[in-house]
A and B are shown apart, each in its own frame.
Chain A
Amino acid sequence: MILDLTDVTVSFTTGPPLRRTRLDAMRGVSLSVAEGETLGLVGESGSGKTTTSRVALGLQRPTSGTVRFDGRPFPRRRKDLAGRMQAVLQHPHWSLNPRMRIGQSVGEPLAVLGKAAGELVPEALEQVGLEAGFAGRYPHELSGGQRQRVSIARALITRPSFIVFDEAVSALDVSVQVQILNLLKDLQAEYGFAALFISHDLGAVRYVADRIAVMRGGEVVETADAATFYSAPEHPYSRQLLESL
């Protein structure tokens, strides 16, 4: 297993000091992603999928439960993980630093590792279907779909074994969404990375995932093969999601 969440609970406390209330963003969540596999995570806002994403990325410590990446707990120093885990995040508008050229953004994970980018940046851009000339442009010159392609190139450049896609296509137009989803499938077939694909859209998740977990109210209510979600998911909430497609 590349990623293993066992009985993870994340609680936040809110409110004034004397009337603190505890809110469980995740309650007893267990998930695992095998090498080369795509796990889809479906849920609506407030379901806890954003917190799950942060836990999987090591950005949020669980209140209880264990998280193991590649068989070990998250290291104390983030640098020890550098290059092995990447993310493609939600908002194409904020996914790239507006003050950095595309080439710099794509090459950054390499710079973090202290490696020279060299020919790898134009290569990475070509892998996601962009011309090498894009390296010299700024994000505001690109469309939403192109920016998400750049984010994918940036995530791929260190050949990570695990990538989290958090609502990576949700803000894109339908016809562009499919372009990106197809790209993702192709790249995965070629490079064999494992992925956690998080979205509120069951259609998109079902299209790219091998297995799907459905979250609601901080809990995983159903986990099954993607095929199940084309026909007969068990949980009533999963059925409701299927019907609203």
Chain B
Amino acid sequence: MSALLEVDGLEVDYGTARALDGADLRVAAGEAVGVVGESGSGKSTLGAAIGRLLPRQAVVAAGTVRVAGEPVLDLPPAALRRLRRQRLGFVFQDPIASLDPTMRVGAQLRLVLRAHGRDGRESPGGRDGGRGGADVAFHLARVKLDDPRVAAAYPHQLSGGMAQRVAIALAMAASPELLVADEPTASLDSQVREEVLNVVFALARQAGTSIVWLSHDLPAVARRCDRVAVMYAGRVVESGPAADVLGDPVHPYTAALARSAPAVAVPGVRLEPVPGRPPVLTGPSPGCAFAPRCPFAEDRCATERPEPVRVGAKDVLCHRAAELEVIA
């Protein structure tokens, strides 16, 4: 299995604050990977780094990002633009803000299709990806927006769910090899959320697109993704097949997270949250960043940085992974 996306030891600082502290992530072609973490875990920074979309004050201290073998962080501007255009698609949290407010939806879609057609590749509809309303309608219909008025509407005239589907249509119109979605359904209602999720994953499967799905909601991600990567304090602390990570977590943080969701509560039983709160890193963590909150921490956890340990089908960033696997 060849990796489409390889992130190795990525470290990113914002001024004195460290957002990524050696993050590793691998995504195979056609695979859907959920990246789960609480706010401040660095997942959005990781997502942005994949397309080199980091804000200007961000400094990459170490590490590499490769998409289809190309070093994203070192590409010259033209090559970077080509890479983004041909291989990458992005969907962000705020759908309305990600659309151009001065342009009708159809016009924005045509713009994407034309740019894509220039690269001399076929549009997924099998038609000329250039002009014509039929193509726009086709791409909107794929995200279940059949109403012809949508193409003629401006972004502010759309509801949140519709706008997010338009954003997805835009991202998927160029049939990217990798779609990076940063909490795209956080602001949507549950029914619309399900619809949008169905649409994205169905489209991706159809087009063979890989997905990196960033979210704070572990169960929701595990339900649809092939693999899950859990982030804590700028590192991926546990990754593996979705069912394994959710159902049989090894890392103490993942276990605590899975245990503490109100949704899994049993009547009359008190949930035990992780004590304390995530650290704010100002530089490389000397040991395991979770150690201060961890009930299993030993002396070395505070001083030695853990390296990924293979436990079953999972990679776990914990000194005591092997022992904890037995307990679990």
Contact = CB atoms under 8 A, between A and B. Distances in A.
Given A175-B257, A244-B190, A203 B263 contact: yes
B261 interface: yes
B38 A177 contact: no
Interface in A194-245: 200-204, 206-207, 226-227, 230, 240-241, 244-245
Contact of B189 (A44, A182, A202, A227): A44
A181 B271 contact: yes
Interface string B246-281: 000000000011001111111100111110011000
B211 to A, nearest CB: 20
Contacts of A44: 189-191
B262 A230 contact: no
Contact of A207 (B191, B256, B265): B265
A230 B265 CA distance: 9
Contacts of A230: 266-267
Given A46-B189, A207-B271, A178 B262 contact: yes
B216 interface: yes
B298 interface: no
Given A173-B39, A244-B190, A203 B265 contact: yes
A206 B265 contact: yes
A175 B274 contact: yes
A176 interface: yes
Interface string A141-173: 001110000000000000000000000000001
Range of interface residues on chain A? 20 to 34
A45 interface: yes
Contacts of B191: 44, 240
A173 B277 CA distance: 10
A36 to B, nearest CB: 18
A197 to B, nearest CB: 12
B325 interface: no
Nearest to A183: B273
Interface of B: 38-39, 189-191, 193-194, 216-219, 256-257, 260-267, 270-274, 277-278
Given A178-B272, A201-B263, 10 more contacts: A44-B189, A174-B260, A175-B257, A175-B260, A175-B273, A203-B265, A204-B262, A206-B262, A206-B265, A244-B193
